[in-house]
A and B are shown apart, each in its own frame.
Chain A
Amino acid sequence: MTRFLTTKNVTLLVLILLVALSPLLFPSGFYYRVGALIFVNAIAVTGIVILTGYAGQISLGHAGFAGIGAYACALAPVHFGLHPALAIFLGAGISAVLAYLVGRPILRLQGYYLGVATLGFGILVSMVLNNERDLTRGPDGIEVPELGLRAVLKSIGVDLTNGEFWYFFCGICLVFGAWLALNLFNSPSGRALRALHGSEVAARTVGVDVAAMKLKAFVISAVYASVSGSLLALQNKFITPDVAGFMHSIEMVTMAVLGGVGSVLGAIFGAAILTLLPQVLTVFAEYEQLVLGLVMMLVMIFLREGLLPSILRKFKGRGE
């Protein structure tokens, strides 16, 4: 029994139960949409956990990869006749190659330099999406073709509303993504990443190829961000360059750090809170930025490990 109750299995179980049972509490169809948005953000944030939580590297430009994933789904079906589902993989592939090429020189840098280099990359991507109007139609956005999977499901007798379909589809993608991330955590690569997070010098002396491992984490997290962008584009059937914007990159990092960047579940918790916050604050839309900035500062100053680990520690502390 204890062998089965590893962090990995508990995390997956909690996630699956959350995805499967939350709809029982939904008072209306609108909540499926919010749920799907949370899952989409959580996928990107899971990638940040691998990069920042495991390997200790920061990226302020991951929205650039989300933008590539999103625009791959908008453009490839129209220009190459590629099926939208395959376009997700095309976007992920382009993101991975780009992350590899950009990451190789960038990841030699540390701390602030890495932050600014990734930020520069993200801004360049969003600039291209904004300016190449002939291809992307610029800041006004572009429509994205229908994924078509819902029709397939209908033909085999599973009839879901659009909201329900995207809720469960994104939920399944998230569980799969979390499963991969948790497997990575316990693998030799995951241990190497955590080792270089602790001390690059120490990791190098025990034979970890630090540069290659960092690059690996960067490429994997780029793929997560890309898939998240693709799913966002496909479910909205419309996308604007904002998906690749600086604010989106910051949101990703904030979600991860808010919940607790060290654990997949914590980060997903952070994604849920930050996705819900604007929905709750719509009444006070003017205060959204003020509150977001305040939350970022307060959590980083007082709960450095993030919300979930801090809460869990409180409970454990009481038990002892």
Chain B
Amino acid sequence: MPELLQFLFSGVTVGAVYALVALGFTLIYNASDVVNFAQGEFVMLGGMITWAAYAAGVPLPLAALLAIVGTAAFGVAINKFAIEPARGAPVVSLIIITIGASIFIQGGAQLIFDKQIHTFPAFSGDAPLRIGGATILPQSLWVIGGAVVVFISLWLFFTRTLLGRAVLATSNNRMAAQLVGINTNFVMALSFALSAAIGALAGVLATPITLTAYSVGIGFALKGFAGAMLGGMGDPKGALVGGFLIGLIEALTAGYLSSQYKDAAAFIVILLVLFFMPQGLFGAKKTDRV
């Protein structure tokens, strides 16, 4: 039993990271219909910038803030220079653009930083907490708490603020939103900034546990995407639940089946979801107009 609990703890921890990435995906997808394959690079940048700043002597909280703000600016730049000029391009082109952005950021990161694996100290020490015979790191609680706080803030933002409703309106119907006076370009930029900041936050919180390097992004992107898809593309609630589920499935696969194939679990889940319920757990059933 403690064994199962241990697997659940580690599953919820990585699941929280995937959930954050999935939430980031969802934000951009809703605002622009673009699936941003560079989403994982935001996680990488969050971790790497924090490490670099911390190593240069900046206090950890300030370094983390720097990383989140810097990555958000990067997200705005991607929207401005890569997504906006390509508006109306076919899906194949958009996929290649965001994959190109992802490879570009990786290439830049290995030049500016280096190719080593890095980390920085956990926020509340390394002494594991004992719960029911299993242990959990204090940093795990930071990660899980981060995912929950981000989800609640997003929910409040979308339901309680005018700006949040403007974002929702834009994602529903861009033209109609423009007609009622919403600055849709600003909404797009805002979505990319928020999405990048959430990704970076995931990187900042997770790095003391998972470590970071210039190449970690693509793995996070794929798992996060699996989570978003499992929950139902475009639904923040689905992204949260889907991300946690992917993390749990992965941890249980590693624990009970095979640690070599733990990464396969996410992809088998993607394939099964796509085959049997393409709309995901929470997604609305889509009907094609014929």
Binding site for B on A (CB under 8 A): 52, 56, 58, 60, 105-106, 108-113, 115-117, 119-121, 123-124, 127, 131, 201, 204, 246, 250, 253-254, 257, 261, 286-297, 300-302, 304
Given A289-B103, A296-B97, A116-B92 contact (CB < 8 Å): no
Chain B nearest CB: distance from A202 CB in Å? 10
Task: Closest A residue to B99 by CB, please name it.
Answer: A250
> Does B105 make an interface contact (CB < 8 A)?
yes
Q: Once the chains bind, are A289 and B110 in contact (CB under 8 Å)?
A: yes
Q: Complex formed: what's the CA distance from A121 to B270 in Å?
A: 10
Contact assessment for A127 and B263 in the assembled complex, using a CB-CB cutoff below 8 Å: yes
Instruction: Compute how far the CA of A201 lies from the CA of B35 in the bound complex, rounded to whole angstroms.
Output: 24
User: Given A123-B267, A296-B96, A301–B85 Cβ distance below 8 Å?
Assistant: yes
B229 touches A131 (CB 8 A): no
Residues in B neighbouring A261, C-beta threshold 8 A: 92
Measured between beta carbons, the chain A residues less than 8 angstroms from B264 are 123-124, 127
Chain A, Cβ-Cβ closest to B85? A301
B225 contacts across to A, CB distance below 8 A: 116
Contact A131 B89, CB 8 Å, known A117-B274, A297-B104:
no
Verify if B222 is at the interface (C-beta below 8 Å from A).
yes
Known: A106-B275, A287-B107, A294-B104. 9 other contacts (CB 8 A): A112-B95, A121-B267, A123-B222, A123-B263, A123-B264, A124-B268, A293-B102, A293-B105, A300-B93
A300 adjacent to B96 (CB under 8 Å): yes
User: Is B6's CB within 8 Å of the partner chain A?
Assistant: no
Q: Give the CA-CA distance A120 to B221 in the complex, in Å.
A: 12
A304, B89: Cβ atoms closer than 8 Å? yes
* 6 cross-chain pairs, A with B, having the tightest CB-CB distances, nearest first: A293-B104, A296-B100, A289-B107, A290-B107, A293-B103, A120-B267
The smallest C-beta distance from B112 to any residue of chain A, in angstroms, reads 10
User: Which A residues lie within 8 Å of B104 (CB)?
Assistant: 289-290, 292-294, 296-297
A58 and chain B: residue at smallest CB distance: B92
- The B interface, classified by DSSP as helix, strand, loop or mixed, is helix
In the complex formed, the residue of B with least CB distance to A293 is B104
A58: B residues at CB distance < 8 A: 91-92, 95
Interchain CB contact (< 8 A) of B86 among A106, A246, A300: A300
Chain A residues contacting B278 (CB-CB under 8 Å) are 108-109, 113
| Chain B residues positioned under 8 Å from A302 (CB to CB) | 85
The answer to whether residues A106 and B263 also contact, given A58-B91, A293-B106, A304-B93 and a CB cut-off of 8 A, is no
Question: How long is the Cα–Cα vector from A301 to B90 in the complex, in angstroms?
Answer: 11
Contacts of B261 in A (CB 8 A): 127, 131
Interface hub of A105, A110, A201 (most chain B Cβ within 10 A): A105
| Given A58-B91, A288-B107, A304-B93, A120-B82 contact (CB < 8 Å) | no
- Nearest CB in chain A: distance from B102 CB, A: 7
- On whether A112 and B102 interact (CB within 8 A), knowing A287-B111, A288-B107, the answer reads no
Contact A290-B95, Cβ < 8 Å, known A112-B35, A304-B89: no
Nearest chain B residue, comparing its CB with the CB of A286:
B111
- Cβ 8 A contact of B96, one of A131, A254, A286: A254
Known: A300-B100, A301-B85. A290 touches B111 (CB 8 A): yes
Instruction: Check A297 against B268 for contact (C-beta < 8 Å).
Output: no
Query: Which B residues lie within 8 Å of A111 (CB)?
Result: 91
